[in-house]
């Protein structure tokens, strides 16, 4: 597994735990660092801090493009994978959009439901298309 793929997986772990505990991503990052489990790849921190900084706008986009699915109704894994993918599509200029989408798909294929890859692909695809027409 490539270093950035591992960093995305670790960022998902941090954001998922934050989601379940009612913390911000930054609070969860501080907690895991205090517990001696600080992420070893700096890109993990970039993702967690980036998602945390832009979460309101990202969540608004996800609600807009998820067609009938509220954030609360989405599985927590899908919600946080979508946040990472949307962050990379919208704010990470060094990550090509197809890479952000395929990395998100790889995470949900491994960690979520059978329906999740199609759902995540559809939402992120809509975000990519809207970015291209803006």
Cβ-contact 85, 122 below 8 angstroms: no
Does residue 22 register a pLDDT over 70? yes
Supply the mean pLDDT for the chain.
Answer: 95
Average pLDDT over residues 8-27: 96
Predicted TM-score (pTM) of this structure: 0.96
Does residue 9 register a pLDDT over 90? yes
Does residue 20 register a pLDDT over 70? yes
The predicted-structure confidence for 42-90, as pLDDT tens digits, reads as follows 999 999 999 999 999 999 999 999 988 899 999 999 999 999 999 999 9
At residue 1, the pLDDT reads 65
C-alpha–C-alpha distance, residues 4 and 94, integer Å: 12
Report how far Cα 109 is from the mean position of its chain's Cα atoms: 14
């Amino acid at each position: 597994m490539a270093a950035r793929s591992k960093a995305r997986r670790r960022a998902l772990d941090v954001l998922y735990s934050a989601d379940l505990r009612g913390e911000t991503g930054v609070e969860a990052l501080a907690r895991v660092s205090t517990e001696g489990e600080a992420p070893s790849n700096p890109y993990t921190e970039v993702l967690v801090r980036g998602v945390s900084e832009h979460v309101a706008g990202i969540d608004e986009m996800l609600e807009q493009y998820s067609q009938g699915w509220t954030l609360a109704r989405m599985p927590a894994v899908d919600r946080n994978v979508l946040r990472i993918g949307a962050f990379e599509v919208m704010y990470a200029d060094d990550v090509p959009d197809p890479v952000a989408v395929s990395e998100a798909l790889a995470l949900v294929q491994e960690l979520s439901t059978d329906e999740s890859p199609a759902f995540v692909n559809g939402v992120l695809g809509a975000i990519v298309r809207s970015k291209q027409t803006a």
